Structure 1
Amino acid sequence: MTRLRHLLRPRRSAARPVPLSVMPLRDLLGEAVAGMLQRPGRSVLTALGTVLGVGTFVAILGLTATTSSQIDGRFNALTATEVTVEDVADEQSAFAGPAFPEDADDRIGALNGVRAGGVYWPVRTGADTRVRAALVGEGTHGSDIDVVAASPGVLEAARPAIAQGRLYDSRMDQDGEFVAVLGSGVASRLGITTLQNRPAVFIGDQPFTVVGIIDSAERKADLLLSVIVPRTTAVKVWGPPEGGGASMLVATELGAAQQVAELAPTALRPDHPEFLEAVPPPDPKTLRTGVGDDLRRLFLLLAAICLVIGAVGIANTTLVAVLERTGEIGLRRALGARGRHVMAQFLTESGALGALGGLVGTSLGVVTVVTVAAARSWTPVVHPGTVLAAPVIGLVTGVLAGLYPSWRASRIQPAEALRR
C-alpha cells in the first residue's frame, strides 16, 4: 500500500530559475531616442534650459576673458605711459619759489620716450576767487570755479578733445596773453555756448578771452572742471605758486615711463634734482588681476545660477514625462523590464537632452562672444578648456536633473500602473 501511494504521487519536476531580463546598450539608446522623438516639442523645450544655461556659461566666461584682455590693454596704453613730477623743494631745504624752471616743457621734452609734458598748479587768486562770464565790458554774477595755471605741454599731454576753438600755444604762453580754455561743463555752467562772439570770463576783475572749449581728456580729467589759463599769465597776475604747489604731467611712449621717471629730476634741475620727485606709474598687474578676478567670480556665479535654472527645467519636464508615461512604464514592467532598466532609460534621455543642449549652448555662447567683440572692435578670447568642458557640463546637468524622475519611474509597480 505504501508502495502504491509512492507510485501514484505526482512526480515534481526540478524547478528552473527564470532568467532575469537584460537590456543591451543598443536597445537602451533606441528606447531613449524613441522617447525623445515621441514628443519632439517637449524635448526641445527641455533641452532649451540647458542651452540657455550652458550658452550663458560660455558667453560669460568668454566675455570676461575678452574684457580682461581689454582692461590689460587700457592699463598698458594709459596708466603705464603717465609720469607725475612733484615739487618737494620745501621738504629738502628752505628753498623758496617754484622748483620747476621756466623752460621745463622743453627740458622734459628733450628726453627720449617723452611725448609731451608741462607744469600746472591750482591758482589761488586771493579773496575774490569767483569766476564770471560775460561779453567784454559787461558783468554778470560769478561762480566758484577752480582756476588752473598750465603750460601748453600739459594740454598736449592730457590729449583733450576740442569741442570749439583751439588750445593756447607756447607763443601765447610766452607773451602772457589773457586767454583761457574751458571744459564743456564749465562753459555750460557759465552760459557760454559759442565762441563766435569772443566771450570772456572774469577771474576777479581780470578778463580772459575764451579761445577753446574741450569735451574730454584722456589724462587729468579734472581739467574739465576748471578754467585753464597760461602759466606765464598766471605768474604775472597772481605770482608764482607756493612751495610744493606745482606739479608736472608727462606723457611717455609705452615702456619708457620708468626710465623717464628716473631721469626727469636731473633733466629738469641738474643743480638740485632733490627738489623734484618723479612718481612713475604703478605696476598695474595687481589692479588688473583684482579686477579680472572680481569679474570672473561675479560672472561665474551668474553662469551657475543659469545652469541651476536649466537643471530645474529638465528635472521638472522629465518628471512630467514620467507621470504621463506611467501606463507605458507599467506595461514594460509587466513584460519583464526591471526597475533599473526603466531608470537607465530616463537617465539616458535626460543626459542626451543635456548633452545636446550643451553642444548648442556652447555654439551660441561662442557666437555671442565673437559678435560682441566684433561690434566693439575687440579681440575675442575664449579658452579652449571652456569650449571642451561646456558640453560635458550640459551632460552632467542633464543626468543630475534626471536622477529623481528616473528613480521615481523605476519605483512604479506594474499592477498599480495598469490600473490607471
Structure 2
Amino acid sequence: MTVDDMFATERVRPPSRWNRLTSRLARRRHTGIAVRDLLDEAVAGVAARPGRFALTTLGTVVGIAALVTTIGLGQTASGQISERFDAATATRVVVEPMERPSRGGEVQAMVLPSDSEQRVLRLAGVESAGLYTRVDIGDETIRSVPIVDPSAPPMTALPVVAASAGLFDAMQVSVSAGRVFDSGHDERADDIAVVGKYAAERLGINRVDTQPALFIGERPFTVVGIIDTVSGRADLQDSVIIPHSTAQREFDISAPAAVEIRTQLGAAHQVGKQAGVAINPNDPALVQVSAPPSPSALRAGVTTDINALFLALGVVALLIGAVGIAAVTLLSVAERTSEIGLRRAVGATRRSIAGQFLCESVIVGVLGGLIGSAVAVLSIVAVSAVRDWTPLLDMRIALAAPLIGAAVGAIAGAYPAWRAAAVEPIDALRG
C-alpha cells in the first residue's frame, strides 16, 4: 500500500509537504536523511506553530538575557568602584604597636614614638595624620560647670581621649558648635577640651559661647567645641577629647596608642606598606598597620560577589527556559505521533527522527540566545545611561550566548527526541 492509498482510505488529501517528505524518504530509504533535509524539516516543524514557538523561545530569551545582563552589570559596577566606594574607608590607615613574645618568654611591646605623626606626614600620599590615645582616669569623675542638674551623680562612664590636633582632620571631624583645638593648644598643653555630641548631651552642654567648663576629677577644662560628625572612630562622639600634651602632663600617658592617617584616594595601600618602616625602621614587624585593600583587589572582589549573587538567578532562568523547551517538545511529539509513524513507515530511521526533534530544540535555543544577548546588551546600556556609568561587557560573553542557548536547547530536547525515535510505526498509524 502506498502513501496515497493510505490517505485515500482515510479520505484525507495529503498536503504538499507530505509529498516532499515521502519522496525524500523513498530516495533515502537505505542511506538515511541528508543534513540539509533534516534542517529543512526541523525549520518547517518549528514554523508550523509560531505562537508556541514564540512562547517557548521566550524562556530561553529570559534566561540568556538574565545571564549576560548579570555578568555585564557586574563588570560595569566594578568599574565604578574606585569612584563610588566610601572615600573615608578607602583612605584610612591606622598604625598601632604590636606585642610579641621574646626569646626569654617575656612580652615585647613596641612603643610608638611621640613624633610618629611627623614621621608619617613625610610619606607621599599622606594628607593628614594625628595621634589617638584612650586615657585612664581611674575612679575620677567628670562633671560640667555650671551643673545642670545638681541632684544628678557625677559621671564616670564618659571616656577621655588624648589627641593631637591632626586627628580631627584625619577623622574628618565636623563641629556643631565652637571649634576643635589646634597645634598651638597642643604645644602649650592648654586645659581645653572638645566633647562629642552624645557626651555633650550627657553633660548638659549645648553651646560654647558662654565658655562652659568641665572637671575631670579636680582638673578644670574649658570646652571649646562640640563634635557633630566623625569618620572612622565613632567613639569620639561619646568622648571628652583633650590635647595630647595636656594628657601627658596631667595623666602621665607615655606614648600614643595609635596613629590615624588619611591618605589621598588610591594611596592607602602603598602608605600602609611604608608606615611601619617610617615609624619603626629598626623592626617594622612590631608595628601593626591596618590599611584598606588596593582598589584593583576591591574591584575584583565586588565583581566576584555580584556575579556569584546574580549568576544563580540567570542559571535558574535558564533552567526554566530548558524545562519549557522540553515540555513543549514533548507535547509536539505527542501531537505529531501520526506524522512520526508515517515517516517511519516510509523508511525514516530512528536516528533521523531523533535528529529532527533535536534540531528543532537547538533552533529554539539559538534564537533565544541571539535575542536574549541583544536584550542584555540593551539593558546594560540603558542602566549605565541612567546611572551615568560607562558600560562594560566582555563581548566574548555576548557572542557565546547563542552557543549557550544551543547547548540548553540540545539538553532540553534530548529526552523528547528519544521519545520520538521510540515511536513504533504500526502503533502510531493504528492510533
TM-score with structure 2 length normalisation? 0.70
Shift in Å, 1:381: 3.4
The 1:213/1:329 distance shift into structure 2, 3 A limit, reads: farther
Q: In structure 2, what is the Cα distance between the partners aligned to 1:288 and 1:350?
A: 39
Contact 1:358-1:391 at 8 Å conserved across structures: yes
Structure 1 residue aligned with 2:359, among 348, 362, 366? 348
The reply to whether residue 401 of structure 1 matches residue 412 of structure 2 is: yes
Q: In structure 2, what is the Cα distance between the partners aligned to 1:227 and 1:313?
A: 63
Q: In structure 1, what is the Cα distance between the partners aligned to 2:91 and 2:202?
A: 34
- Tell me the alpha carbon deviations over residues 315-363 of structure 1, each in whole angstroms, 9 at most, x when there is no partner: 1221122222323333444455443333222111111111111122223
Q: In structure 1, what is the Cα distance between the partners aligned to 2:317 and 2:210?
A: 59
Q: In structure 2, what is the Cα distance between the partners aligned to 1:381 and 1:413?
A: 53
The reply to whether residue 317 of structure 1 matches residue 331 of structure 2 is: no
Q: Hey, what does 2:126 align to over in structure 1?
A: 114
Structure 1 residue aligned with 2:277, among 257, 262, 276? 262
Q: In structure 2, what is the Cα distance between the partners aligned to 1:372 and 1:40?
A: 32
The reply to whether residue 35 of structure 1 matches residue 45 of structure 2 is: yes
How many positions carry a matched residue from both structures?
A: 387
Aligned-pair identity (%): 35
- Tell me the alpha carbon deviations over residues 7-64 of structure 1, each in whole angstroms, 9 at most, x when there is no partner: xxxxxxxxxxx75345444443333333333332322221222222222222232344
- Tell me the alpha carbon deviations over residues 209-243 of structure 1, each in whole angstroms, 9 at most, x when there is no partner: 473444452xx344465425132485178524245
List alignment gaps of at least 5 residues for structure 2: 1-25
The reply to whether residue 56 of structure 1 matches residue 56 of structure 2 is: no
State the SS of the aligned residue for 2:239: strand
The reply to whether residue 159 of structure 1 matches residue 203 of structure 2 is: no
State the SS of the aligned residue for 2:162: strand
Contact 1:120-1:231 at 8 Å conserved across structures: no
For 1:390, give the aligned amino acid. Answer: A
Q: Hey, what does 1:99 align to over in structure 2?
A: 113
Q: Which moved more, 1:248-257 or 1:165-174?
A: 165-174
Contact 1:85-1:248 at 8 Å conserved across structures: yes
State the SS of the aligned residue for 2:67: helix
For 1:391, give the aligned amino acid. Answer: P
- Tell me the alpha carbon deviations over residues 251-272 of structure 1, each in whole angstroms, 9 at most, x when there is no partner: 2344451445533457xxxxx9
List alignment gaps of at least 5 residues for structure 1: 1-17, 267-271
The reply to whether residue 46 of structure 1 matches residue 50 of structure 2 is: no
Q: In structure 2, what is the Cα distance between the partners aligned to 1:350 and 1:143?
A: 77
For 2:277, give the aligned amino acid. Answer: E
For 1:356, give the aligned amino acid. Answer: L
Contact 2:42-2:360 at 8 Å conserved across structures: yes
State the SS of the aligned residue for 2:241: strand
The 1:37/1:193 distance shift into structure 2, 3 A limit, reads: farther
The 1:126/1:97 distance shift into structure 2, 3 A limit, reads: farther
State the SS of the aligned residue for 1:127: coil
Shift in Å, 1:392: 0.7
The 1:36/1:163 distance shift into structure 2, 3 A limit, reads: farther
State the SS of the aligned residue for 1:229: strand
Contact 2:208-2:224 at 8 Å conserved across structures: no
Contact 1:98-1:246 at 8 Å conserved across structures: yes
Q: In structure 2, what is the Cα distance between the partners aligned to 1:321 and 1:52?
A: 22
Q: Which moved more, 1:187-196 or 1:296-305?
A: 187-196
Q: In structure 1, what is the Cα distance between the partners aligned to 2:181 and 2:148?
A: 27
The 1:395/1:234 distance shift into structure 2, 3 A limit, reads: farther
For 2:172, give the aligned amino acid. Answer: R
State the SS of the aligned residue for 2:128: strand
Q: In structure 2, what is the Cα distance between the partners aligned to 1:136 and 1:79?
A: 39
For 2:113, give the aligned amino acid. Answer: A
For 2:192, give the aligned amino acid. Answer: F
The reply to whether residue 330 of structure 1 matches residue 341 of structure 2 is: yes
State the SS of the aligned residue for 2:130: strand
State the SS of the aligned residue for 2:131: strand
How well do the aligned residues superpose, as a CA RMSD in angstroms? 4.7
Q: Hey, what does 1:417 align to over in structure 2?
A: 428
Contact 1:262-1:278 at 8 Å conserved across structures: no
State the SS of the aligned residue for 1:249: strand
TM-score with structure 1 length normalisation? 0.71
Structure 2 residue aligned with 1:124, among 102, 121, 136? 136
